[in-house]
Chains A and B, each alone.
Chain A
């Protein structure tokens, strides 16, 4: 158990390009980039399909394909194809991993809005875009955020494998540690990944609290 104190207590682990802060930042940058790209693709697509009802088969196809393809296999494939000179071989599989939960939950969220509500919105004289932006999105927000959170947690965990491709991130502590039988490093890296994932969870819980209307989450306000 003193592996952990060995690892976190060593001042050498807290500085330099392979120190904890630098690896943490790399991990953050990778995860954030993957999530952002995935969201940029999946959010508008999910909103559009949910709102118009057009292309719903695409959602089904995406889910099936996403279930079938292992991220690790994809990663290896891309590294073999593209080499390790750029971040893309890692980023593309991560985006492929992150996009489906966002897409599916956004779609389900928008499509699941009570048809009476949609009807009332049009009946009031809102235009299509206003119905989407002012009614459907706020009401579907819990599910949309859920999709983002599921993606984020998966991405954070999977970014660890970026180390296999010789890229940085917290995975390096684990991979390199295994290679050199430095089990303190392996344990420390694992703890860091878990803490990181928990922090992401917390972040999304806070986002949920602030962004979702109490009228939707049905939180009673004490007034």
Chain B
């Protein structure tokens, strides 16, 4: 556990970057520091590994004041990833990753083996091991940065905007990779970002900092989105907070209809006379192919000959209500196709089912928001609460 105990950092020029910050970073979870530029995120993070020392207060790592530990020794036990990866340009990838194990005196062989293992772990081709950093793409370099930070298996990982210099697609895959790794490794991670979407995606807990280093709110992402502590947080969370909160509502419980799918090999005659305007056509491997309009079916033949409209899917049991809603919005029918992990269609979630789920989610959100903030919540939450109470 990492504890900030009334920490203040005043730079020599008088700038107060962090002001009386107290918070706890629990062991084995991802805690995200998020906030606008200059709010003191980097300063706070760097006080954990003593790249910066506090002016007042203490930072405790498992109860030990970090300023009592010799900085290099402390840092070898804490993984550190920065935005530009900061790889050593003169050393091969494998040697970059083996940096800390070598500092710790592991023998060459063991350090090397460990480095290779980690390259694989972070999703890199081990064929890259003998390249130099300049021969890698930005995304690959970032992965190496993560592998290097993990090399000596430190219990704590500090990450300062590690993914903000890569394009959105690479960023998303790096985020997924981090979540996958974390599910295996259970590190205590402090992750700094100014991107609220990244914060709610990665964080088990999100600390929103305000300029001047004030902690505005510390909560799990769903609560944060449902119940911003004040106007600053609300504004920082942005416009589609309600929609984004749906990412934390599981799509698992959505009722499925199995009578709205039809195999592509079926005869169109089987669908004649149905009252349903759209049917989801499923291929021989069980994967969805598209939507068929029942009004325009040919006289005879199979569904092979029917023109299909585009569709959206979500993975039931894994994806959120937001993904289900998105899938529905991608279909002309307004219905979402649910698939399993291997992409086989399980059934269809209709507009009506989604509608019910949305209403439930809205009620739940307002209940959470109303719980401890009765009477002083933002107007919209208050209004929703009345609706919920009137149930």
Contacts and interface: CB of A to CB of B under 8 A. Distances in A.
Contacts of B80: 120, 123-124
A217 B143 CA distance: 23
Given A124-B75, A223-B130, A138 B84 contact: no
A208 B92 CA distance: 18
A54 interface: no
Counting contact residues on chain B (CB < 8 A from A), the size range is 20 to 34
A22 interface: no
B89 A125 contact: no
Nearest to B92: A215
A218 B103 CA distance: 26
Contacts of A125: 71-77, 100, 103
A145 B74 CA distance: 35
B76 A124 contact: yes
Contacts of A124: 75-76, 80, 99-100, 103, 148
B89 A120 contact: no
Contacts of A218: 132, 134
A123 B49 contact: yes
Interface size class of A (residues with CB under 8 A): 20 to 34
Q: Most chain-B Cβ atoms within 10 A of its Cβ — which of A114, A125, A213, A216?
A: A125
A218 B71 CA distance: 33
B103 A119 contact: no
A215 B89 contact: yes
A83 interface: no
B180 interface: no
Contacts of B89: 117, 139, 213, 215-216
Contacts of B92: 215
Nearest to B158: A123
B100 A121 contact: no
Interface string B44-61: 000001010000000000
A126 interface: yes
Given A120-B82, A124-B103, A125-B103, A138 B75 contact: no
Contacts of B133: 215
Contact of B51 (A116, A119, A134): A119
24 contacts: A116-B86, A117-B88, A119-B82, A120-B86, A123-B51, A123-B82, A124-B76, A124-B100, A124-B103, A124-B148, A125-B75, A125-B76, A125-B100, A125-B103, A126-B72, A126-B99, A134-B88, A138-B88, A213-B89, A213-B91, A215-B91, A216-B89, A218-B132, A218-B134
Interface of A: 114, 116-117, 119-127, 130, 134-135, 138-139, 213-216, 218, 220, 223
